[in-house]
Amino acid sequence: MIWLQKELSLSPRARGCHPITCEVLAAVPEVSQIDVGILHVFLQHTSASLTLNENADPDVPLDLERSLNILASEDLPYRHTIEGPDDMPAHLKCSLTGNSLTVPIGVGQVRLGVWQGIFLWEHRRRAGSRRLLLTLFGKPK
């Protein structure tokens, strides 16, 4: 069995859903050596999240962002406001959407569906870089 863990630093991004599949896979080329296994992707932050979603129509991430902004509006009377009006909604959005994904690997490839991609969902207006912890586990080819 192969166990491998790497850190990946993502450059700062604006608020919204950003495709990161290519960056994640570039950080773990060892996926190609796995016959069957899993790749666990963990975001080490609480004001952004990860999602596995449609990667074909650019309207999907925009609609997701708009919908989540309605659910976790900045206009609510939050008590936690010390880091700005977008911080508490960002924590709420992260709690609703999650900060980790587990992706199956088969025959040296991640086994995403035809239209699926891995996205960083940035919930802050002006966030810094984001850190991912990538854990690869599997049976070698």
3-class secondary structure, 36:
strand
Say how far apart CA 77 and CA 128 lie, in whole Å: 25
Q: Is 26 exposed, middle or buried (0-12, 13-18, 19+ CB in 10 A)?
A: exposed
pLDDT digits (tens, 9 = 90+) for 58-67: 999 999 999 9
Q: What is the biggest distance separating any 2 CA atoms in the chain, rounded to whole angstroms? A: 54
**What's the CATH number where 113 sits?**
2.60.120.460
Helix axes 87-97, 59-71, angle to 10 degrees: 110
Left if phi > 0, otherwise alpha if psi is -120 to 50, otherwise beta: which for 16? left
The answer to whether the CB of 111 falls within 8 A of the CB of 38 is: no
- Tell me the whole-structure pTM to 2 decimals: 0.94
Range of the domain at 36: 2-140
| C-alpha Rg value of the chain to the nearest Å | 16
The predicted model gives 81-97 an average pLDDT of: 93
User: Which residue type does 107 have?
Assistant: V
The answer to whether the CB of 1 falls within 8 A of the CB of 103 is: no
pLDDT digits (tens, 9 = 90+) for 14-29: 999 999 999 999 999 9
Provide the domain count of the chain.
1
